[in-house]
Amino acid sequence: MAGQARVLYDFDGQPGTSELSITTGEILNVTSKDVGEGWWEGSNQRGLSGIFPAAYVEAIVQTYNVPPAMPPPPLPQIYVEENTAPVIQQQQSQYDDDWDDDWDDDVSEVNPASHANAAPGGRSNSDVGSALDVNLAGLKLGDGKGTVRKNLNRFSHFVKTGGEAYILGASKVTATDSDYIHIIETNDGITWAPNPQPYSCVVASPKKESKLKGLKSFIAYQLTPSLNNIQVSRRYKHFDWLHERLVEKFCIIPIPPLPDKQISGRYEEQFIERRRLQLQSFVSRVSNHPILSRSDVWLHFLTCTDAKRWKSGKRKAEKDEVIGAAIFSVVQVPEKALDPLQLDSQTEAFGRFVQSFDTAVRTMQSNFAEQVKRQQGPYKRDYQRIGQSFRTLSTAMELLETAPLTRALAHTADTYDQIALLCEDQPRLDFEPMGDLLHDYRGLLASFPDIITVHKGALQKRRELERSATEGKTESNVVVRAQQRTDVVSYTLLAEMSYFHQERVRDYNAVAKIFLQEQIVYYQKIVDHLQSTLSQYKDV
């Protein structure tokens, strides 16, 4: 049993298949999410069961009304000075099965971080070393009387990533120069400071490699960054590890998703090529991002060629303290204070946009997936059936004589058979690239609700402090510091929103063009085939 799901869109199951018709608003019991190709299995309230497109439903997360099956985890130790940075526990079991030896040996070495060193100076919004902030948190929480109360909902993402601790000035991190993130104001608004050394990276055709004298074989992808033009070899699980690090570290930046682990491709070769294209898309998105592209863990992944350095870099990344909400501590923003009211309306509009965009992406993804199936199934067969009609006609007429007409009819039959193959292959060139883009955006968009929640929580906390100050319960300098800190959170959101919009326009413009260009080539090929067969018919 994989929980329940709420139906977002109507879906009419094809009669006679195992597809389940579902109606918007209906609650389904999900029995399997492992059906593959974007389908889930489940049953409706009337007891009918079958498969349905995962994109048409949303899983219901039952955190509030249903007691958890396991006791709740201990509260994060973010309010204890000695251990302020949130530590995401390494899930060792996830890697034990198929991790290489050179990776596995250090998986269990993740230790609680130590937090002794202060960050370098400058006009810093960092809370490193602010005793007052630490006290505020400690004291107010301690006696339970203050107006600034800790949000006790332990499931809140805001709390989980240490965002509240940051606003309250309770988080401390050890950061190096390279950790610092800069946000600037340009004519285009608030943006990330661009990468001064932009680069790209090519993912080459993967190779099948083996180890343990051929006992284990795997696919290795060859990455060549323009940074140094040195090729590195990475496996999918390395990508997976990297992805987890990036998600952990950049709670404010949607990390591009990796391709799904299980995609069923009809042809081994086509599957590998598509996987390469999807990884190329991931690598390009990270390489192009002004912040992600410069992160230590990414550069390590992209450039390390030495096994020993690889191991130590991996350990370092897993011990990184500047992760989760702690990242706000290393963000450098413009001096200008932001208008909270304007922010409210901006983020609300953005939230609505994200929701609507997400729906559009799901709809398109589901429609396009369906279209691919249709072209590779019924459409192909329909063209073949037209071809077969002409062939039967030609064969019948050949009983009498082999005339120009019988040859022309046979040629027409061949032509429709060729068109059938074109039709089957075509999605690889138009629908699948669009599908890959949609996959990327579903991943990116899925991150925004949490990011918006972090921001909303920060603004709320700031208002609580402001109210508390007007009532004389909080000192004004505490409020000013909190306002500066929420501005940091807001600036990061604005910078990422701006970057996201710019990428969105670029991406959809480019992929829609590719889609249309390939559709044109496809239909033009059909025209050419038909013209060639038309020329076989002579005047009689």
Among 409, 452, 458, 494, binds its own copies (CB under 8 A): 409
- Cβ proximity to its own copies: between 15 and 214 the closer is 15
345 in contact with its own copies (CB under 8 A): no
**369 close to 402: Cβ distance less than 8 angstroms:** no
| Residue 155: both structure tokens together | 């499931």
Q: Which of residues 298-327 bind its own copies (CB under 8 A)?
A: none
Q: Distance between CA atoms of 302 and 279, rounded to whole angstroms?
A: 13
- Cβ proximity to its own copies: between 207 and 513 the closer is 513
CB of 108 to its own copies, least distance (A): 45
418 in contact with its own copies (CB under 8 A): no
User: Facing residues of 189 across strands?
Assistant: 186
**169 close to 163: Cβ distance less than 8 angstroms:** no
Identity of the residue numbered 166: Y
Q: Distance between CA atoms of 67 and 462, rounded to whole angstroms?
A: 31
Identity of the residue numbered 400: L
Q: Distance between CA atoms of 190 and 501, rounded to whole angstroms?
A: 12
User: Facing residues of 43 across strands?
Assistant: 29, 49
CB of 284 to its own copies, least distance (A): 16
What string marks each residue from 109 to 138 as x (binds its own copies by CB under 8 A) or -?
Answer: ------------------------------
402 in contact with its own copies (CB under 8 A): no
Q: Distance between CA atoms of 246 and 297, rounded to whole angstroms?
A: 8
342 in contact with its own copies (CB under 8 A): no
Strands 4-7, 57-60: pairing is: antiparallel
Among 210, 356, 476, 477, binds its own copies (CB under 8 A): 356
CB of 422 to its own copies, least distance (A): 11
Distance of CA 4 to the CA centre of its chain: 23
247 in contact with its own copies (CB under 8 A): no
From the list 333, 319, 332, the residue with the least C-alpha distance to 85 is 319
- Cβ proximity to its own copies: between 299 and 521 the closer is 521
Among 66, 205, 399, 472, binds its own copies (CB under 8 A): 399
Among 132, 219, 446, 512, binds its own copies (CB under 8 A): 512
From the list 195, 192, 178, 448, the residue with the least C-alpha distance to 330 is 178
- Cβ proximity to its own copies: between 99 and 508 the closer is 508
508 in contact with its own copies (CB under 8 A): yes
Among 202, 272, 429, 530, binds its own copies (CB under 8 A): 530
Q: Cα angle vertex 430, ends 429, 432, to 5°?
A: 85
| Residue 290: both structure tokens together | 């002004």
498 in contact with its own copies (CB under 8 A): no
Among 357, 414, 436, 483, binds its own copies (CB under 8 A): 357
Identity of the residue numbered 94: Q
**How many residues bind to its own copies according to rule CB under 8 A?**
62
Identity of the residue numbered 331: V
- Cβ proximity to its own copies: between 56 and 158 the closer is 56
Burial code of 402-415, b = ≥16 C-beta within 10 A, e = fewer? eeebbbbbbbbbbb
**375 close to 421: Cβ distance less than 8 angstroms:** no
Length of the chain measured in residues: 540
CB of 122 to its own copies, least distance (A): 34
CB of 194 to its own copies, least distance (A): 17
**163 close to 492: Cβ distance less than 8 angstroms:** no
Among 16, 71, 144, 472, binds its own copies (CB under 8 A): 16
- Cβ proximity to its own copies: between 103 and 353 the closer is 353
From the list 247, 339, 329, 261, the residue with the least C-alpha distance to 295 is 247
6 in contact with its own copies (CB under 8 A): no
Burial code of 348-376, b = ≥16 C-beta within 10 A, e = fewer? eebbeebeebbeebbebbbebbebbeebb
Q: Distance between CA atoms of 383 and 422, rounded to whole angstroms?
A: 10
CB of 515 to its own copies, least distance (A): 9
Q: Distance between CA atoms of 443 and 251, rounded to whole angstroms?
A: 14
91 in contact with its own copies (CB under 8 A): no
Distance of CA 91 to the CA centre of its chain: 20
Among 17, 65, 229, 262, binds its own copies (CB under 8 A): 17
CB of 294 to its own copies, least distance (A): 24
| Residue 87: both structure tokens together | 């530590």
Q: Give the 3-state secondary structure of 334-356.
A: CCCCCCHHHHHHHHHHHHHHHHH
CB of 114 to its own copies, least distance (A): 44
Among 18, 92, 153, 531, binds its own copies (CB under 8 A): 531
CB of 540 to its own copies, least distance (A): 5
Q: Distance between CA atoms of 251 and 166, rounded to whole angstroms?
A: 13
- Cβ proximity to its own copies: between 70 and 540 the closer is 540
CB of 109 to its own copies, least distance (A): 45
184 in contact with its own copies (CB under 8 A): no
What string marks each residue from 267 to 296 as x (binds its own copies by CB under 8 A) or -?
Answer: ------------------------------
21 in contact with its own copies (CB under 8 A): no
Residues that bind its own copies (CB under 8 A): 14-17, 349, 352-353, 356-357, 359-361, 363-364, 367-368, 370-371, 374, 378, 382, 385-386, 388-390, 392-393, 395-397, 399-400, 403, 405, 408-409, 412, 501, 504-506, 508-509, 512-513, 516-517, 519-520, 523-524, 526-527, 530-531, 533-534, 537-540
